[in-house]
Amino acid sequence: MQKENVYFDGDEDISEVQDTTIQSTHEILNDSVELAFQEINFVANVRDEIADHIWRANRR
Cα angle: 12, vertex 16, 22; to 5 degrees: 135
Task: Report domain extents, the chain.
Answer: 32-60
- Three-state DSSP state, 5: coil
Q: What is the pLDDT of residue 41?
A: 98
Note down pLDDT in tens along the chain; length 60 residues.
566 777 777 777 888 888 988 999 999 999 999 999 999 999 999 999 999 999 999 998
